Amino acid sequence: MSTAKPDLVKARYISLATYRKNGDLVKTPVWVAVHEGAGYVFSEPNVGKVKRIRSNPKVQIAECDMRGGLLGDWANGTARLVDDEHEIAAMYPAFNKKYGFIMSVTNFMAKLAGRYQRRQIIAVTLD
What ranges do the domains of the chain cover? 13-126
**pTM (2 decimals)?**
0.92
* pLDDT score of 26: 98
pLDDT at residue 125 above 80? yes
* pLDDT score of 5: 85
What is the rounded average pLDDT of the residues 62-78?
97
Q: Could you tell me which of 40, 25, 36 has the C-alpha nearest to residue 122?
A: 40
Q: How far apart are CA 101 and CA 117, in angstroms?
A: 20
Cα 100–65–75 angle (5° rounding)?
A: 105
> What element of type H or E holds 94?
helix 85-112
CA distances from residue 88 to 22, 62, 93 in whole angstroms, order as listed: 31, 23, 10
Q: In the sheet that 75-82 helps form, which strands lie side by side, from edge to edge?
A: 25-30, 13-19, 58-64, 75-82, 120-126, 38-43, 33-35
Give domain 13-126's CATH architecture: Roll (2.30)
> pLDDT tens digit string along 20-39?
999 999 999 999 999 999 99
* pLDDT score of 3: 58
> pLDDT tens digit string along 74-121?
999 999 999 999 999 999 999 999 999 999 999 999 999 999 999 999
pLDDT at residue 1 above 80? no
Torsion of CA 90, 54, 73, 32, to 10 degrees: -20
